[in-house]
Amino acid sequence: MNALRDILSQGAQMLLVLGLAPLLTGFVRKVKARLLRRRGPPLLQPYRDLVRLMRKDVVLADNASWLFRVIPYLMFAGTWVAASLVPTFGNGLLFSWTADLIAIIALLGSARFFQALAGMDVGTAFGGIGSSREVMIASLAEPAMLITVFSVAMIAGSTQLATVAEFMGSDAVGLRVSLGMAFVALTIVALAENARIPVDNPATHLELTMVHEAMVLEYSGRHLALIDLSSQLKLLLYVSLIACVFLPWGMAPADASVGRFLFGALLYLGKLTALGLLLALFETAIAKMRVFRIPEFLGAALMLALLATLLRFVSGSL
Amino acid sequence: MIAVALWSVAALLALAPAAIALSMRPRGSVVLYGACLVITAALCATALLHLLDPAHPVLSATLPIGLPWLGAHVRLDALSAFFLFVINLGGAAASLFALGYGRHEDSPGRVLPFYPAYLAAMNVVVLANDAFSFLVAWEFMSLTSWAMVVSHHREAENVRAGYVYLLMASFGTLALLLAFGLLASGAGYDFDAIRASHPSAALTGMVVILVLLGAGSKAGLVPLHAWLPLAHPAAPSHVSGLMSGVMTKVAVYGFVRIVFDLLPEPVWWWSMVVLLVGGPTATLGVLYALMQRDIKRVLAFSTIENIGIIFTGLGLALAFKAQGLDWVAALAFTAAMLHVFNHALFKSLLFFGAGAVLGATGERDMEKLGGLIHQMPKTAFAVLVGCVAISALPPFNGFVSEWLTFQAILLSPQLPSWGLKLAIPAVGGLLALAAALAAACFVKLYGISFLGRPRSDVAASAQETDRFSLTAMLLLAGLCLIAGILPGLLIDALAPVSKDMVGNVMPHQVGLQWLTIVPIAESRSSYNGLLVFVFAALCGTAAASAIHRLASDRLRRAPAWDCGYPDPNPAIQYSASSFSQPIRRVFGSIIFAAREVGEMPPPSSPRPARLQVELHDLIWDALYAPIAKVVGFATDRINILQFLTIRRYLTLVFVALIVLLLVVAL
């Protein structure tokens, strides 16, 4: 009975993140449009886009290799596994011990590694510029993320997300300077990793500004659908991660009743809505940066994360 | 068992003179590499059996060679067995690779005799149980590898590499000689006697610094790394693989044997020195690698990075051991040893891949390659596995050892020393930076040389490499995956080593649920490579089958879109230098004193504009260039002595005699 519930909750988590990911993207787009006094596409437009893309033929460049065709699946698998490991509505997930926070970052790193390779496979200048900028951004964002994880893990005494969430939900945390710094650092990293303004703007097709779009320019049909879905999943992952670490209240424990799970899911939807609203507000309030100002932006995240970790090393209570 | 090991080493040594005769024969290289493959495989199996033997016996013997009345002491314990295993695994893979690759060699007589001798020397270093045999084998290892570095002596670059290598190797051996001199002053040459002696704190401190210089110069620690990126690429590729993947590990062995085994309990500041060298080595190594466009130089610089990671692990182990937290020390030490093994696997694989590319195209410059995934699909696949593994991405092996190192760092707030409290987070940050940059570096290496369109005719007409080389590469690639998804087996196999060196072991891993690895406690951290792999594979295939069933699975081929401006010229692709330009702009101005100069032709001139990039190796400029300058200056002055008349020489001798007599008289 217990095993069945565990499998069900893990399966529900996997399907939930997959199902919700396009909705979150659609919601952020809608809010942004409303803030700009546009009507904006309907909330469900991302689902329609995915279905439309799936139905279309794939147009493959003449010299694309087998790797180019495999990479969308690899990216999707890596991102989906990572997203299913972040606790959302319930805490005691079946496979939560398979991979800790460091492994989740590395899984996303694998997805990015392959995406950057895909950008270079066809041998066009656009793919190269995208990949080259992506690895530059990643080479700063990933260490910032890891060090943020260090500081959070040292406060919670674990890199296991379930334990971190449990600790952060308890009264033992209190108000800490290092947590505040880690929160800001994580937010900056999330913006950079998800190709959001001010780091990247996937809505444009201006070669001077784009990073993510430049890499996937040669993709079409089902391949593009998978890549879009992966990036939507990644956004959901980061939002859930922030929710899980900094707003862990209301998550159902492992042995909870169905009603408790439903309550957790409802609360999770609320958290997504709130964070999505904040993201849309932030994105409309700020302008896109020049590419070579991004290192300063990410450098701030790196410094904050390092400071948070140092504070943790130096003092037990800050 | 030790007899098997010694006879195998003797056989390798006997092969060396036989190789001189073999090198004249047309199939001589096949016979030699075949024999080396058999012997190293036997040694590898012996070492593994010894490591897995539950009794972990310490075997020793004294041979009637070496110094009179002292003989040569040899010993096989868990540490030597582990390194013997790594060396001979790399050796067997290199020999298998060379069965095919070695046939391309135009002057086999310059490589064949040294190859088995080199393998034998590395084996003797880890078996030696007295300072004399250790140093002789160490120097023999340097000299035989030097001979292979300069085997293609007609290229001026290689000769310079050999010269710098010889200088640095001599410096390293000198440092080790002094270290042993200090240690032996109270006890003698025998390692057993040194272990039993109780040297003073000042003396052991000096020994640690000297060993760090000696072993560090062989391993490639910054700032003693200058020779490594010159020498490793210069040798034939299977030898490069051995030098980078295996010989640097022998250097790690030297450090571990002396600092962890021969010296008494560590003092906390030793770890500080090791950490402050290891962390920057990791980051600088990979930054240098990113700036290169020669495949083998990228790989050589990346070895420096990995050595930095290993030494960081060793430094952490020393720190924890000095504070008596030996269970965390066991974690850090196991992480370092696991990385030793992992790096030997993927670095050999990548060097073999570079060799296959070199054999097929004759090019090491990435900017003349491209599109090789079409011409050499199997090589491309194996190298891709190596690139993913070395970038520390799950589910491959590189991730496991870095993950364990990070877990050890996360436990370091428990250390009471304030210096370490400040140093370790900084080192952790440097390691995180190195890991991210390594991924960028290998995206570049793979993307530029294997993907895209061919940038030259040789790249367009490359042929897949021979089946021996392919087998060697695919075997190593398979091992990378297995070591990544079943790390618990390796951690358990390393338990006796960590027991001997730091006095404690990591918790027993095999038998935990689903082969998960748990360094401390499950609520703290755990990782299961097998499940991550299975999980991801299931998700990927589920997505693929769902899409092919429900969605359109039609496919059309068309010219690349490229925003509507397809250009047939492959030169519009990103090149190695342009790929790393953003990262160069972020880090380069401080670390490499990088300068970009755009040179525009005057109006109406049809000359193309040029972009010149200047990079400086600041360590070379600040450390080596002044030394070279002083030496040059001194030799210029002394040079006068070479052209004196006989009268002046006689006067000099006479004056010297008088001075000496005066010294004696006083």
**Residue closest to A282 by CA, chosen among A183, A197, A200, A194:** A197
Is cis: bond before B395, omega within 30 of 0?
Answer: yes
Verify whether the Cβ–Cβ distance B436 to A109 is below 8 Å: yes
Report the distance separating Cα B417 and Cα B422, nearest Å.
9
B 577-616 near A (Cβ less than 8 A): 578-583, 585-586
Verify whether the Cβ–Cβ distance A309 to B453 is below 8 Å: no
Report the distance separating Cα A43 and Cα A63, nearest Å.
38
Nearest by CB: B373 against A65, A125, A132: A65
In this predicted structure, the answer to whether residue A208 has a pLDDT above a threshold of 70 is no
In chain B, DSSP finds a helix count (H) and a strand count (E) of 28, 5
B297 and B274 in contact (C-beta within 8 Å)? Answer: no
> What does the pLDDT look like over B145-176, one tens digit per residue?
999 999 988 888 899 999 999 999 999 999 99
Say what the ipTM of the complex is: 0.95
What is the per-residue pLDDT for B273?
94
Distance from CA of B502 to the nearest CA of A (A): 24
H or E element at residue A248: none
Query: Residue B444: which pLDDT band, with cuts at 50, 70 and 90?
Result: very high
Residues of A in contact with B413 (CB under 8 A): 154, 312-313
Residue B648 burial class via C-beta count within 10 angstroms: exposed 0-12, middle 13-18, buried 19 and up: exposed
B517 sits in the region (left: phi over 0; alpha: psi -120 to 50; else beta) called beta
Distance from CA of B573 to the nearest CA of A (A): 5
> Which tokens hold the place of B215?
């072993």
What is the per-residue pLDDT for B596?
83
Q: What is the mean pLDDT of chain B?
A: 91
Beta bridge partners of B60: B75
Is cis: bond before A42, omega within 30 of 0?
Answer: no
Helix, strand or coil, per DSSP, at residue A184: helix
Verify whether the Cβ–Cβ distance B412 to A306 is below 8 Å: no
> Which tokens hold the place of B100?
């095919």
Distance from CA of B293 to the nearest CA of A (A): 15
Verify whether the Cβ–Cβ distance A132 to B574 is below 8 Å: yes
A 140-199 near B (Cβ less than 8 A): 140-143, 146-147, 150, 153-154, 157-160, 163
Q: Write phi, then psi, for B402 (nearest 5 degrees).
A: -70, -35
DSSP state, residue B142: H
In this predicted structure, the answer to whether residue B563 has a pLDDT above a threshold of 90 is no
> What does the pLDDT look like over A73-100, one tens digit per residue?
999 999 999 999 999 888 877 778 888 9
Which of A136, A215, A223 is most worth mutating to test chain B (most B CB atoms within 10 A of its CB)? A136
> What does the pLDDT look like over B308-349, one tens digit per residue?
999 999 999 999 999 989 999 999 999 999 999 999 999 999
Verify whether the Cβ–Cβ distance B582 to A80 is below 8 Å: no
Verify whether the Cβ–Cβ distance A146 to B406 is below 8 Å: yes
A251 and A165 in contact (C-beta within 8 Å)? Answer: yes
A 43-82 near B (Cβ less than 8 A): 54-63, 65-67, 73-74, 76-78, 80-81
Contact residues for B581 (Cβ-Cβ < 8 A; gap 6+) = A132
Which of A7, A85, A97, A181 is most worth mutating to test chain B (most B CB atoms within 10 A of its CB)? A97
> Is A94 near chain B, with CB under 8 Å?
no
- In Å, how far are B105, B107, B240 from B154, measured between CA atoms? 14, 12, 18
Proportion of chain B above pLDDT 90, given as a percent: 68
> Is A127 near chain B, with CB under 8 Å?
yes
Report the distance separating Cα A189 and Cα B310, nearest Å.
28
**String of DSSP letters for chain A:** -HHHHHHHHHHHHHHHHHHHHHHHHHHHHHHHHHHTT---S-TTHHHHHHHHHHHSPEEEETT--HHHHHHHHHHHHHHHHHHHHS-SSBS--TTTTT--HHHHHHHHHHHHHHHHHHHHHS--HHHHHHHHHHHHHHHHHHHHHHHHHHHHHHHHT-S-HHHHHHHHHSTT----HHHHHHHHHHHHHHHHHTT-TTT--TT---TTT-SHHHHTTT--HHHHHHHHHHHHHHHHHHHHHHHHHH--TTPBPTT--HHHHHHHHHHHHHHHHHHHHHHHHHHHHSPPPPGGGHHHHHHHHHHHHHHHHHHHHH-S--
pTM for the model stands at 0.95
Pairs of residues, one from chain A and one from chain B, whose beta carbons lie less than 8 Å apart: 276
